[in-house]
């Protein structure tokens, strides 16, 4: 592991602190009028998602974690697990849905995703900002029900329910924002 000082911290950087894996959400260098400078940080646990505040002395050494980004292709579901194939080595790995988090709502068979690996452990996913999915089920728009901005719930092929405009029908492909889960447009 590479050792860095707290003066070198940046947002998004991964740190290994006391056996835990944390990602820097926010940091602030503070130089009070009296006393020594310090660094106030907000850290997110990569495994549990818990957010903590931690203060370090300026110049204190911390371990920087090496997060490897691997481009993987989602092949199929095996029971509850998701099976991914590494695009370089063609190795297949089984991933529990709890590890993937919200990403399970946006991945379909043969789609690609970037898995964030810490050693052999998957600690997160990196999806594109928007994905195209097919609407599996939604109520038809009623004639005369054309109020500007009207929406209706639609179930996508992954099981995610989003609010779509009244003119969208089952079988159509739509773009969905992976950060908010909101409908963007027709595909």
Cα separations (Å) of 131 from 7, 74, 114, 141, 152? 38, 14, 14, 24, 20
Per CATH, 2-64 and 68-126 having the same topology is answered no
Going through 65-141 in order, the beta strands assigned E by DSSP cover 68-78, 81-86, 92-95, 112-118, 121-126, 130-138
Homologous superfamily of domain range 130-186:
Nucleic acid-binding proteins (2.40.50.140)
CATH architecture of 68-126: Beta Barrel (2.40)
pLDDT at 144 (0 to 100): 60
CATH fit for domain 2-64, picks 2.40.10.120, 2.40.10.330, 3.10.20.30, 2.30.30.30:
2.30.30.30
Mean pLDDT across 142-171? 80
pLDDT one-digit tens code per residue, 28-68 = 998 888 888 899 999 988 877 788 999 988 888 988 888 88
Q: Can you tell me the distance from the alpha carbon of 169 to that of 155, in angstroms, rounded to the nearest whole number?
A: 11
What confidence category does residue 180 fall into, taking pLDDT thresholds of 50, 70 and 90?
Answer: confident
pLDDT at 42: 92
Indicate whether 142 pLDDT > 70: no
pLDDT of residue 66: 84
Query: Taking 80 as the threshold, does the pLDDT of residue 146 lie above it?
Result: no
The CA dihedral of 167, 173, 162, 124, to the nearest 10 degrees, is -160
CB burial string 13-33: b at 16+ within 10 A, e below? bbbbbeeebbbbeebeeeeee
Residue ranges per domain, the chain? Answer: 2-64, 68-126, 130-186
pLDDT tens per residue, range 81-112:
889 998 888 888 888 888 888 888 888 888 88
Structure tokens at 180: 């908010």
Mean pLDDT of the residues in the chain: 85
């Amino acid at each position: 592991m590479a050792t860095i000082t707290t003066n070198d911290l940046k947002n998004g950087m991964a740190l290994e602190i006391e056996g835990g894996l944390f990602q820097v959400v926010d940091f602030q260098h503070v130089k009070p009028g009296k006393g020594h400078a310090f660094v106030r940080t907000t850290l997110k646990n990569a495994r549990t998602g818990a957010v903590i505040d931690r203060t370090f002395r300026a110049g204190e050494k911390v371990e920087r974690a090496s997060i490897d980004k691997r481009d993987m292709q989602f092949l199929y579901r095996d029971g509850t697990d998701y099976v991914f194939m590494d695009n370089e080595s063609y190795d297949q790995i089984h991933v529990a849905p709890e590890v993937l988090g919200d990403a399970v709502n946006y991945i379909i068979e043969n789609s690609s995703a970037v898995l964030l690996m810490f050693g052999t452990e998957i600690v997160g996913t990196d999806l594109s900002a928007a994905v195209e999915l097919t609407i599996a089920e939604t109520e038809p728009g009623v004639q005369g029900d054309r109020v500007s901005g009207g929406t209706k719930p639609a179930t996508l092929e992954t099981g995610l329910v989003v609010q779509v405009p009244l003119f969208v029908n089952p079988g159509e492909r739509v773009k969905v924002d992976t950060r908010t889960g909101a409908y963007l447009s027709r595909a």
